[in-house]
Amino acid sequence: MNAARRVIAHLDIDAFYASVELQRHPEARGRPLVVAGVGPRSVVTTASYEARRYGIDSAMPAARARALCPDAIFIAPDFAAYRAKSREVWSIVRARFETVGQAGIDEAYLDVSSLERPLPALRELVAQVRERTGLQISVGVGPSRLVAKTVSSAFKPAAFVAMGREQAAAHFAGHAVRLLQGIGPKTAQRLAVAGVATVGDLQRADHTLLAQRFGERQALALRARAHFHDDSPVETSRVAKSRSSERTFPADVSDQARLEQTLVELACELGVGLRTRQRRVRTIAVKVRLDDWTTVTRARTLPHFTDEGATIAATALELLRAYAPPRPVRLLGVRVASFDDESGGTPAAGHGGQLTLQL
Ligand SMILES: [Mg+2]
């Protein structure tokens, strides 16, 4: 019918680290479980759904999580175990689907446009992953990455929901603008001052007024996002020139120790991705977005290729310390580039070799 029809799925493993830990600690089943680093300044890496009922969430200081639910079981993260499990899951996915763009240790986008019946194929995949790994995947399906991700996030755990663009725009109209990827607390606050609280408000917001406050480009981007317009491609590892992992904090962070811990976690995630793909890199960059949206990138190219999270982390930490963020940080990211097999990369069919450079 429509040659340009795009069908994108976002797959997200439910409470990934907590689920892996529950498999290893069956006695914790049904109880609130929190995976968090040790030490007074550590943050929550992940929380089981039982723990989330107490208001515990990722990136929250572990001390606060303990205060919210003293009876929760606290377990230190074991990234080697998560890496192994992640590899298991995504190799099952890659065996069944061609265009898989991994976006993190527990999430990926699939371009399933070429499939005649994508939903049954995805359902089979979810069942197979559950059967073989014991993990539940949430699936959001839509015409874009934005719709797919919003849907999987909104309906997880055990989500399996498909929506069109207009349907998403209508369905989420009553939700706070924070629902939209890329709109964090500060932007939400600035929008609130302009009388824009919900996605629907943003859809209807006066462009001139938005442009006055945010500038022409960001105003257009915000409006497009509220209407769920997004044509970004699913970036597979074969076409990727760089990979990045980033985190927007629920509240801006000044605490250097917390920034550094987050950076280490992001670096470890990237290391996992590299080893999964058997690729190595030489260039490591950090991206820091301050509370005033100033975005700074610092990069360094190493003399040798690496796929080690520890090496990426060490370099990223040096870069962060050298920059020494002068204001609270809203987003922190790590990017790796200069792959050892760069010249051999061929664009995946159907994407016209299009690249999405995240920095
Ligand atoms: Mg997840």
Ligand 1 center from residue 31 Cα (angstroms): 19
pLDDT score at 286: 94
- In this prediction, residues 141-158 reach a mean pLDDT of 96
CB 48 within 8 A of CB 98: no
Q: Name the nearest CA neighbour of 232 among 138, 349, 96, 101.
A: 101
Ligand 1 center from residue 152 Cα (angstroms): 10
User: What is the percentage of the chain residues whose pLDDT exceeds 90?
Assistant: 62
Q: For 103-140, b where at least 16 C-beta lie within 10 A, e where not — what string?
A: bbbbbbbbbbbebeebeeebeebbeebeeebebbbbbb
Ligand 1 center from residue 12 Cα (angstroms): 5
Higher pLDDT, 241 or 301: 301
Ligand 1 center from residue 332 Cα (angstroms): 19
C-alpha–C-alpha distance, residues 264 and 247, integer Å: 12
Tens of pLDDT along 243-290? Answer: 889 998 989 999 999 999 999 999 998 998 888 777 889 889 999 999
Q: For 26-63, b where at least 16 C-beta lie within 10 A, e where not — what string?
A: eebeeebbbbbbeeeebbbbbbbebbbebebbbbbbbe
pTM of this structure? 0.66
Structure-block tokens of residue 250: 């629920």
Q: Is the pLDDT of residue 356 over 50?
A: no
Tens of pLDDT along 18-68? Answer: 899 999 998 888 899 999 887 777 888 888 889 999 999 888 899 999 999
pLDDT, mean over the chain: 88
Point out the residues that are catalytic: 107
Spell out where the chain has E strands: 8-13, 33-36, 44-47, 73-75, 100-104, 107-111, 137-142, 160-162, 242-253, 281-290, 295-306, 329-339
Ligand 1 center from residue 213 Cα (angstroms): 34
Ligand 1 center from residue 137 Cα (angstroms): 8
Ligand 1 center from residue 44 Cα (angstroms): 14
Tens of pLDDT along 70-102? Answer: 999 999 888 888 888 998 999 999 989 988 998
Ligand 1 center from residue 18 Cα (angstroms): 10
